[in-house]
Amino acid sequence: MPIIDLRSDTVTQPTANMRRAMAEAPVGDDVFREDPTVNRLEELSAERLGKAAALFVASGTMGNLVSQLTHCGRGDEIILGDESHIFYNEQGGSAALGGIHHRTIPNQPDGTLKLNDIEAAIRPDNIHFPRTRLIALENTHNRCNGGFLDAAYMRAVGDIARRRGLKIHVDGARIFNAAVAQGVPAAVLAAEADSISFCLSKGLAAPVGSLICGQTDFIAEARRVRKVIGGGMRQAGILAAAGIVALNEMVDRLADDHANARKLAEGLAAIAGLSIAPEHIKSNIVFFKITRADLTPQELAQRLKAEGVLVGPKEPDQIRAVTHYQVSAKDIDTALNSINKALSR
């Protein structure tokens, strides 16, 4: 039975061009900065994000952790959304390893933070308080329906940060989804960020890796932090080669994933027992609710699994479905049929 895997865009397999590039990549010791393929990926990434430098790291979590540890010292505070991946899904790594304090404020349904909430959360100089150092944003926003932040919003947050002497980090795991969805270069969305991390191994389909982009001195410091947490890799050009293909060949096609997500959302809206507002689906992430009291997300996911459709059940009443390179428009029709069938029992 063919499997339609909507659990995440992290499940994407490397393309034939990636495998070829990996096999042929010239490599060297990247801790000595002698891997030409890693160096090329870092240059290309910096250029795409409009920054002076970039650093290849193992994962999105490592990109966010290294960025937080580079911006902040022990006892410093980061303002971030209560639905953000950094707060929700990264084990509180910056607290565990760096003694950094997270100050959460509510994420709005579109993934933004209210500007007033950001302002109000910034600590005055007071011996009792931690020092606010960083504002962390997420673009696109995973837990907020894949919603995106636009350049005008970024400028408004940038104004606050400059006025109050703070830095901005963007968890841009899916920044190219945000860019394609808005028809703007990723660099425009990154312009206000002191650091931005993005993932190669989600919608861009590379097997491993993320990049942190920023100013040259920030990236030099981040390189030290990456090393101390054991993230210095050696002949990593094997991995970086796939990342170069990802940036050159896999960005524009993200529009197909967005169209498929919208198609899925519109189909789900017509199914009794489910609730979703398709107009809120802005990129490749689709959250929908089960409105039937007799069915949990886990039970629905089990029924769909039996039909070859994999989705991500989320407590208490939600399911997440993510479109990607390996899900076609026809697969969306098949998945909708399976969901209809599973709900008709």
**Residues in touch with ligand TLP (CB under 6 A):** 8, 10, 59-61, 85, 89, 138, 142, 171, 173, 199, 210
CB of 178 to ligand TLP, least distance (A): 11
Nearer residue to ligand TLP within complex by CB, 49 or 199: 199
Cβ atoms 110, 137 nearer than 8 A: no
CB of 251 to ligand TLP, least distance (A): 17
Nearer residue to ligand TLP within complex by CB, 28 or 312: 312
Nearer residue to ligand TLP within complex by CB, 166 or 321: 321
Nearer residue to ligand TLP within complex by CB, 77 or 171: 171
CB of 106 to ligand TLP, least distance (A): 17
CB of 192 to ligand TLP, least distance (A): 18
Q: How many CB atoms lie within 10 A of CB 174?
A: 29
CB of 70 to ligand TLP, least distance (A): 17
Phi, psi of 297 (to 5 degrees): -55, -35
CB of 179 to ligand TLP, least distance (A): 15
Q: How many CB atoms lie within 10 A of CB 144?
A: 22
Nearer residue to ligand TLP within complex by CB, 268 or 311: 311
At 330, the amino acid letter reads: K
Please, which residues have CB within 8 angstroms of residue 202's CB and are 6 or more apart in sequence?
8, 9, 10, 12, 60, 173, 174, 324
CB of 56 to ligand TLP, least distance (A): 13
Phi, psi of 36 (to 5 degrees): -65, -30
**What span, in angstroms and rounded, lies between the C-alpha atoms of 324 and 321?**
10
Please, which residues have CB within 8 angstroms of residue 270's CB and are 6 or more apart in sequence?
none
Nearer residue to ligand TLP within complex by CB, 100 or 173: 173
Nearer residue to ligand TLP within complex by CB, 113 or 199: 199
Q: Which of 266, 320, 271 is nearest to 292 (CA)?
A: 271
Nearer residue to ligand TLP within complex by CB, 294 or 315: 315
CB of 212 to ligand TLP, least distance (A): 12
- Which residue number places its CB atom closest to ligand TLP? 60
At 1, the amino acid letter reads: M
Please, which residues have CB within 8 angstroms of residue 117's CB and are 6 or more apart in sequence?
105, 106
Nearer residue to ligand TLP within complex by CB, 46 or 199: 199
CB of 118 to ligand TLP, least distance (A): 19
